[in-house]
Amino acid sequence: MEKKPFVTLEQLQEITKKYPTPFYLYDEKGIRENARRLKEAFSWNKGYKEYFAVKATPNPFILNILKEFGCGTDCSSMTELKMSEACGFSGSDIMFSSNDTPLEEFAYADKLGAIINLDDITHIECVEKTLGYIPETISCRFNPGGVFKISNDIMDNPGDSKYGMTTEQIFEAFKILKEKGARHFGIHAFLASNTVTNEYYPMLAKILFELAVRLHEETGAHISFINLSGGIGIPYRPDQEPNDIRVIGEGVRQVYEEILVPAGMGDVALCTELGRFMLGPYGCLVTKAIHEKHTHKEYAGVDACAVNLMRPAMYGAYHHITVMGKENAPCDHMYDVVGSLCENNDKFAIDRMLPEIEKGDLLVIHDTGAHGFAMGYNYNGKLKSAELLLKEDGSVEMIRRAETAKDYFATFDFCDILKGAE
């Protein structure tokens, strides 16, 4: 099976006349259509809000597109808070979900009026000492421990996760926060990553809705929102069936009406913090074949490397690759598709059957719109690529320029030792 790129060879040939490879390319039309689908899927919940996970694709042009659909931002650091602020997000449009949090970041989140989501019970004291008070609206992150299963298949292992409070801790946290002046409470949990099943969100919702009812009954706290966080994945492999967000939204609605409504909690707003689902399929890494090597294996060397896309090297993650212009050619050559880092794990594909790759061929590496550029680094002095937006009218806009050597050496600007190295 084959994935179809959202861009054609002819378009890429035009783009590369102005912007050299490698570069990231995002599909504005796809992003907008997906945001619209998500909003419609949860339109039954009056207070629903998507807090886009900035960590997935930290680009203000992308944030501004999502803002048009009423999305807020999910931030986990000072820099992400500042980017959100610069894009005009403020107050309850920002969810600050952090862990092992520096105190100055709590202070900055509060300054913006962001909703603070506490990762640990000890952070109550940290926030109170830092701010001098406990905000009236506050959230707590829950971790039930153990393993998370769907239909007897283990989806993830929350018990090994560093995030969130135990059941006992979250009850104690709500009591303490209520005593210290909190009036409106949220619950947050992330139990599995990149699930490709319509069952995950409804099952997570059931766990959190039942917890919310117990917390309300036993502590008297007003639960104003429940944050289902992320975890809705995308089909990286061409033979995987994608999630149906409408089916997911309907599944959550049924659980909402079964559990929250009878408990008199039908006013609870729902939140999501989707990154991968929102952007993953709507971005690709475009790279060019520049070398071939025939030794113990067949290698296709490209001008991108793990600096541009870290996931295959870090996780052994699969990303589909299309050799542009050869979509209908037989996949009768086995390659390791590699970059130029001095690291043997700098491989986008291992033993991948592809059409014959020749120098100069353009390759599209699919599903890199989330956790792609964002995870880049500068090992070997490699520079991060440009980010481009394929607009709905077919034009292309640069939404981040490529790094230069001057950027790489910028942190030595306090001295003259590398003067002239730019």
Which residue, among 259, 281, 280, has the nearest Cα to 270 in the 3D structure? 259
pLDDT at 329: 96
Superfamily name and number for 9-23+281-412: Lyase, Ornithine Decarboxylase; Chain A, domain 1 (2.40.37.10)
pLDDT at 396: 98
- Residue 97 makes CB contacts below 8 A (sequence gap 6+) with 74, 75, 76, 117, 119, 141, 188, 227, 229, 273
| 139 within 8 A of 117, measured Cβ to Cβ | yes
Residue ranges, the chain, pLDDT below 50: none
Q: How far apart are CA 168 and CA 211, in angstroms?
A: 11
Are β-strands 362-365 and 283-294 bridged in parallel, bridged antiparallel, or unpaired?
Answer: antiparallel
| 188 within 8 A of 141, measured Cβ to Cβ | yes
pLDDT at 151: 59
CA distances from 66 to 51, 101, 346, 420 (A): 10, 27, 33, 41
| 104 within 8 A of 84, measured Cβ to Cβ | no
How many beta carbons lie within 10 A of that of residue 162, not counting itself?
9
Residue intervals in the chain for CATH 2.40.37.10: 9-23+281-412
Burial-class residue 152 by CB neighbours within 10 Å (0-12, 13-18, 19+): exposed
Domain 28-280 CATH (choose: 3.40.50.720, 2.70.210.12, 3.20.20.10, 3.40.50.1950): 3.20.20.10
Q: How far apart are CA 282 and CA 354, in angstroms?
A: 22
Residue intervals in the chain for CATH 3.20.20.10: 28-280
Residues listed for the chain: 422
CA 177 from chain centre, in angstroms, equals 30
Which residue, among 276, 279, 238, 284, has the nearest Cα to 11 in the 3D structure? 284
The mean pLDDT of the chain is: 95
pLDDT at 148: 67
pLDDT at 193: 85
CA distances from 409 to 32, 181, 417 (A): 37, 48, 10
Q: How far apart are CA 93 and CA 19, in angstroms?
A: 35
- Residue 296 makes CB contacts below 8 A (sequence gap 6+) with none
Query: Could you identify the residue written with the tokens 């930290």?
Result: 58
In this prediction the pTM is 0.95
Q: How far apart are CA 32 and CA 62, in angstroms?
A: 10
Q: Residue 233 has what DSSP assignment?
A: -
Query: Could you identify the residue written with the tokens 């998500």?
Result: 38
Q: Which stretches of 142-255 are assigned E, i.e. beta strand? A: 148-150, 153-156, 184-188, 223-227
